[in-house]
């Protein structure tokens, strides 16, 4: 290419670029109409509200069966780099419990260690609390109490824990399931075994003996059980209760609550508490993908015990 031609070409390109740079930017309205703008995409634009299953139609008490070791009932021993709290726990029911620390803190976090007899050593970090709502305990872990009676309890903290900056208010124990429920099986069935229930109770509990493997000691009308489980494929299900009732027990009545659905039924004598009977309660539609809830609550307790429960099974309706 000749030098003159090259100069002409460069001059033409420069003019073109200059015209492009000098051209006014499109108005926001025009950009909006064209579907483009200079704003970055909203990173949360595709996130909607988490779907939640409806609540039960009957009232339930999730505080039943919980108890607390209050700070004023414990012994506090300060140290230069740590502090120690000591209590005596008098367990009136054996079983699995969540152990939670109730405290106030202005510090970012503080290491804590909780020891319950020989049953468990639980460790964690206690973060700063919200002064507006700090009554909920920080769950450190779960502990299985194998029998009723007394257990020594000690709480070791990484610094002073009876001062305004960090103040222990107590240890709260709440009922916990002894095993997590299985997920929905590949054929759509949901099996809720006794050991995966949380028993909000003073007497009702999971009985682990192989010949039992059930919820038993259902001696109080206020005691109830709940399963929290995941549904991966929503749909319609037939609710089947597997239970046993002692000879001569008549007049007992209960309800199975499945989210907003309620199935009331009379408890028939099956010839023995571990003589299992299948009771088909009806069909329920589970619309929520994810967490759902099922509970059994007594309505009338006339005999020595309500019943024993082996499991609840939700069979998909084709």
Residue 122 lies in a domain: yes
pLDDT at 205: 96
Write out residues in the chain with pLDDT < 50, as ranges.
Answer: 1-23, 28, 30-32
* pTM of the predicted structure, to 2 decimals: 0.82
Q: Say how many domains are in the chain.
A: 2
pLDDT at 132: 66
pLDDT at 7: 38
Q: Are residues 214 and 276 in the same domain?
A: yes
Residue 37 lies in a domain: no
User: What span, in angstroms and rounded, lies between the C-alpha atoms of 214 and 208?
Assistant: 7
User: What span, in angstroms and rounded, lies between the C-alpha atoms of 241 and 285?
Assistant: 17
Task: Point out the domain boundary residue: 118, 149, 175.
Answer: 175
| Contacts of 297 by beta carbon, 8 Å cutoff, 6+ apart | 58, 60, 224, 254, 255, 257
Cβ atoms of residues 162 and 83 within 8 Å:
yes
Residue 90 lies in a domain: yes
Q: Are residues 295 and 196 in the same domain?
A: yes
Beta bridge partners of 190: 314
Cβ atoms of residues 312 and 227 within 8 Å:
yes
Token pair in block for residue 223: 């005691």
Task: Point out the domain boundary residue: 120, 149, 175.
Answer: 175
Residue 306 lies in a domain: yes
Residue 56 lies in a domain: no
Q: Are residues 209 and 290 in the same domain?
A: yes
- 3-state class of 166 per DSSP? strand
Residue 166's nearest CA partner among 242, 250, 82, 227 is 82
pLDDT at 2: 47
Q: Are residues 157 and 214 in the same domain?
A: no
> Which tens digits make up the pLDDT trace of 200-235?
999 999 999 999 999 999 999 999 999 999 999 999
Assign residue 121 the CATH number of its domain: 2.60.120.260
Residue range of the domain that includes 133: 67-175
Residue 11 lies in a domain: no
Cβ atoms of residues 137 and 61 within 8 Å:
no
Q: Are residues 259 and 296 in the same domain?
A: yes
Task: Point out the domain boundary residue: 121, 151, 175.
Answer: 175
Residue 271 lies in a domain: yes
User: What span, in angstroms and rounded, lies between the C-alpha atoms of 107 and 125?
Assistant: 11
> Which tens digits make up the pLDDT trace of 131-168?
766 678 999 999 999 999 999 999 999 888 999 999 99
Q: Are residues 73 and 125 in the same domain?
A: yes
pLDDT at 215: 98
Q: Are residues 198 and 120 in the same domain?
A: no
Residue 53 lies in a domain: no
């Amino acid at each position: 290419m000749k030098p003159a031609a090259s100069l002409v070409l460069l001059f033409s390109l420069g003019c073109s670029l200059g015209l492009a740079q000098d051209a006014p930017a499109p108005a926001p309205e025009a950009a909006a109409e064209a579907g483009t703008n200079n704003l970055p995409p909203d990173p949360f634009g595709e996130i909607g509200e988490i779907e939640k299953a409806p609540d039960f139609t009957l009232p339930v008490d999730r505080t039943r069966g919980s108890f607390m070791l209050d700070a004023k009932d414990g012994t506090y021993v300060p140290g230069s780099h740590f502090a120690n709290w000591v209590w005596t726990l008098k367990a009136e029911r054996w079983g699995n419990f969540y152990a939670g620390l109730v405290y106030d803190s202005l510090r970012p976090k503080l290491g804590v260690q909780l020891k319950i007899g020989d049953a468990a050593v639980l460790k964690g970090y206690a973060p700063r609390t919200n002064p507006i709502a700090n009554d909920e305990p920080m769950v450190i872990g779960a502990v299985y109490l194998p029998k009723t009676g007394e257990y020594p309890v000690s709480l070791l903290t990484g610094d002073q824990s009876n001062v305004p900056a960090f103040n222990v208010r107590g240890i709260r124990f709440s009922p916990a399931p002894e095993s997590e429920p299985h997920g929905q099986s590949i054929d759509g069935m949901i099996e809720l075994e006794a050991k995966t229930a949380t028993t909000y109770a003073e007497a009702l509990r999971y009985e682990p003996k192989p010949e039992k493997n059930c919820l038993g000691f259902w001696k109080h009308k206020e005691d109830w059980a709940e399963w929290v489980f995941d549904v991966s494929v929503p749909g319609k299900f037939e609710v089947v209760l597997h239970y046993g009732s002692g000879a001569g027990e008549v007049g007992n009545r209960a309800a199975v609550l499945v989210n907003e659905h309620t199935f009331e039924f009379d408890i028939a004598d099956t010839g023995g508490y571990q003589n299992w009977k299948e009771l088909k309660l009806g069909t329920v539609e589970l619309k929520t993908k994810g967490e759902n809830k099922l509970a059994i609550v007594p309505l009338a307790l006339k005999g020595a015990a309500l019943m024993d429960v082996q499991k609840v099974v939700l069979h998909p309706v084709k």
